[in-house]
């Protein structure tokens, strides 16, 4: 596999690029309501054009039973729109969609973040540390890394 670009779509979209089996780059793309979807689309297209050709794997938004829901369920609509933008932007790539449970199981967020980090080599951990985002936003990037690791059979 030439390369994998893993995307965890959301208001803070995590992106991770793998060459062969190795994480080589990761970042966070923000989508603020003030900027709108057009600027977000341009950012995603720019990233895709820089790295293509490759396989893109995107987390597919999923509705959970009401007792398992957290936050405002209407937020899922925005996430679905952002996932759709990523899918459309990746029109020249092979695109795979994966549901959260398929790649991470039912681990709580904090447990899964630590699990994903434990699967990284020292060099990959350094790449993650270079990501220019707030610590409170880093879990989005780590999710993208986890999605990529799943696609590559490393998790």
Domains in the chain: boundaries: 3-151
What's the pLDDT at 117? Answer: 97
Cβ neighbours, 10 Å, residue 117: 15
What percentage of residues in the chain have a pLDDT greater than 90? 57
pTM recorded for the entire structure? 0.90
**The architecture CATH gives domain 3-151:** 2-Layer Sandwich (3.30)
Q: What is the DSSP string of the chain?
A: --EEEEEE-SSEEEEEEEETTEEEEEEEEE--TTTHHHHHHHHHHHHHHHH-SSEEEEEPP-PPPGGG--S-TTHHHHHHHHHHHHHHHTTTSEEEEE-HHHHHTT--HHHHHHHHHHTS-HHHHHHHHT--S-GGGHHHHHHHHHHHHHHTT--
- Nearest one of 94, 85, 81, 97 to 46, comparing CA atoms: 85
pLDDT digit string (tens) for 6-62? 999 998 999 999 999 999 999 999 887 777 788 889 899 999 888 876 899 999 988
Cβ neighbours, 10 Å, residue 20: 10
pLDDT category at 69 given cuts 50, 70, 90 is low
* Residues 101-112, mean pLDDT to the nearest whole number: 91
- Nearest one of 98, 103, 135 to 119, comparing CA atoms: 103
């Amino acid at each position: 596999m030439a390369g994998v670009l893993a995307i965890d779509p959301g208001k803070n979209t995590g992106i991770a690029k793998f060459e062969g089996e190795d994480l080589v780059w990761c970042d966070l793309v923000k989508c603020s309501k003030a900027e709108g979807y057009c600027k977000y689309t341009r950012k995603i297209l720019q990233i895709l054009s820089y790295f293509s050709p490759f396989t893109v794997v995107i987390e597919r938004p999923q509705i959970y039973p009401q007792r398992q829901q957290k936050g405002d369920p209407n937020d899922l609509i925005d996430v679905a729109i952002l996932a759709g933008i990523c899918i459309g932007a990746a029109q020249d790539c092979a695109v795979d969609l994966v549901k959260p449970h398929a790649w991470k199981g039912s681990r709580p967020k904090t447990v899964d973040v630590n699990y994903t980090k434990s699967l990284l080599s020292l060099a990959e951990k350094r790449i993650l540390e270079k990501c220019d985002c707030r610590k409170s936003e880093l879990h989005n990037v780590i999710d993208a890394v986890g999605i990529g690791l799943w696609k590559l059979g490393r998790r």
